Amino acid sequence: MIIQWFPGHMTKALRMMEKEIKVVDTIIYVLDARAPFSCVNPKLNSIIGEKPIIYVLNKCDMANPETTKEWQEYFSKFGSTCIMLNSTESGTAKKVESAIRNALKAKIEKLKLKGINTILRAMVLGVPNSGKSTLINNLCGVAKTITGNRPGVTKGKQWVKIASGIEILDTPGTLWPAFDNNQVAHHLAYIGSIKEEVLDIPSLSLDFISDIINIDKTILESRYNIQIEPDDEPIMVLEKVCESRGYKLKRNELDYDRGAFALINDFKSNRLGKISLEKVADIKKLKIKDRKQDV
pLDDT in tens, 97-121: 899 999 999 888 888 888 887 889 9
**Burial (Cβ within 10 Å: 0-12, 13-18, ≥19) of residue 31:** buried
Query: Residue 294 above 90 pLDDT?
Result: no
14 Cα distance to chain centroid: 18
Residue 165 in contact with residue 119, Cβ under 8 Å?
Answer: yes
- For residue 30, the SS3 value is strand
* pLDDT of res. 227: 97
Round to whole Å and give the CA distance between 59 and 77: 21
Query: Residue 143 above 70 pLDDT?
Result: no
Confidence of residue 142 (pLDDT cuts 50, 70, 90): low
Which one, of 209, 173, 208, 170, lies nearest residue 194 by Cα? 173
pLDDT in tens, 5-57: 555 677 788 888 889 999 999 999 999 999 999 999 888 888 898 899 999 99
Top mean pLDDT of 46-60, 118-132, 222-236 is at: 222-236
Segment among 54-58, 151-155, 196-200 with least mean pLDDT: 151-155
* pLDDT of res. 249: 94
Segment among 20-29, 37-46, 140-149, 223-232 with least mean pLDDT: 140-149
Segment among 92-106, 143-157, 162-176 with least mean pLDDT: 143-157
Terminal-to-terminal C-alpha distance of the chain: 26
Round to whole Å and give the CA distance between 132 and 23: 19
pLDDT in tens, 199-213: 999 999 999 999 999
Confidence of residue 290 (pLDDT cuts 50, 70, 90): very low
Tell me the C-alpha to C-alpha distance, in Å, between residue 263 and each of 34, 191, 243.
16, 12, 13
* pLDDT of res. 153: 41
State mean pLDDT over 210-231. Answer: 97
Structural domain boundaries of the chain?
8-178, 197-276
Percentage of residues in the chain having pLDDT higher than 70: 87
**Burial (Cβ within 10 Å: 0-12, 13-18, ≥19) of residue 135:** buried
Which amino acid belongs to residue 117?
A: N
Query: Residue 147 above 50 pLDDT?
Result: no
Residue 143 — left, alpha, or beta (φ > 0 → left; ψ -120 to 50 → alpha)? beta
Task: Report, at the CATH architecture level, how domain 197-276 is classified.
Answer: Orthogonal Bundle (1.10)
Query: Residue 3 above 80 pLDDT?
Result: no
* pLDDT of res. 56: 96
Higher-pLDDT residue of 154, 84: 84
Round to whole Å and give the CA distance between 187 and 174: 15
State mean pLDDT over 171-198. Answer: 85
The DSSP secondary-structure symbol of 118 reads: P
* pLDDT of res. 111: 83
Q: How many CB atoms lie within 10 A of CB 180?
A: 13
Round to whole Å and give the CA distance between 254 and 248: 4
- What are the helix (H) ranges across 217-248? 218-224, 234-245
pTM of the entire structure?
0.88
* pLDDT of res. 151: 40
Average pLDDT over the chain, rounded to an integer: 86
CATH class label, 8-178: alpha beta
* pLDDT of res. 178: 66
The DSSP secondary-structure symbol of 153 reads: -
